[in-house]
Amino acid sequence: MTKIKICGIKTLKDALAAIDLGADYLGFNFYPKSVRFIEKSACAEITSELKHKHHHIKLVGVFVNSTVEEIKYILATCSLDLAQLHGDETPETFAQLAPHVFRAFRGIPESNAGYERNEAPVMLIDAAVKGVYGGSGVTADWSAAAELAKQYPLLLAGGLTPENVAKAVGRVKPWGVDVASGVESTAGEKDAGKMAQFVKEVKRLEIGN
């Protein structure tokens, strides 16, 4: 079963809709320059509700070049399961957060040395867009990602939409898919209809197999 991560959640309404529609992972963005940025207090309110009623959902904090101390504080304050490092973080930063961390690569990495992880997801593959840390709407290199997916349980991100996700999963065969802008009505606002269609397309592919 391909895992589904819906990223950039900003409201409890969107979080509950994503869960009801079939998301396995929810992402909360702590990068201040992102349109999907969420304050710690707002995230904590949402996640306290989710932890109470939806124990099976994994909650992920997305960070871009934050300090280890800040990341650990937010993980604890917001009851998050994992940190997704989406900036230029060093293996030293990664090591201090292990095992509750995975690396997002913008583009295809030559290797994941220093960012090894024993649990899924081992990494996330996003599109390489200069100066943009995720949420660009640009698709990743599916052919190269497919080769990586044979070796590692990875999350595929980058420009996924209800219209192309089935094709992406068929080509790459990732452990999971990650979507943000592709299921929004406007930047930072999730669209329940698009989320439903996205999940349906992923599940339809699996039923077809």
Token look-up 């060093």 returns: 90
pTM > 0.85: yes or no: yes
Bin 37: left if φ > 0, else alpha if -120 < ψ < 50, else beta: beta
Rg (CA), the chain: 16
Is-contact 179 18, C-beta < 8 A?
A: no
Ranges in the chain, pLDDT < 70: 129-137, 207-209
In this structure, whether the domain defined by 3-208 belongs to CATH 3.40.1160.10 is answered with no
- Three-state DSSP at 139 gives coil
Q: How confident is the model over 51-107, as pLDDT tens digits?
A: 989 989 999 999 999 999 999 999 999 999 999 999 999 999 999 999 999 999 999
Torsion of the alpha carbons at 31, 159, 27 and 82, rounded to the nearest 10: -90
Distance, C-alpha 181 to centroid of its chain: 12
pLDDT at site 209: 52
- 187/102 Cα distance (integer angstroms): 25
* 74, amino acid identity: I
Domain positions in the chain are 3-208
Q: How far apart (Å, rounded) are the C-alpha atoms in residues 126 and 84?
A: 12
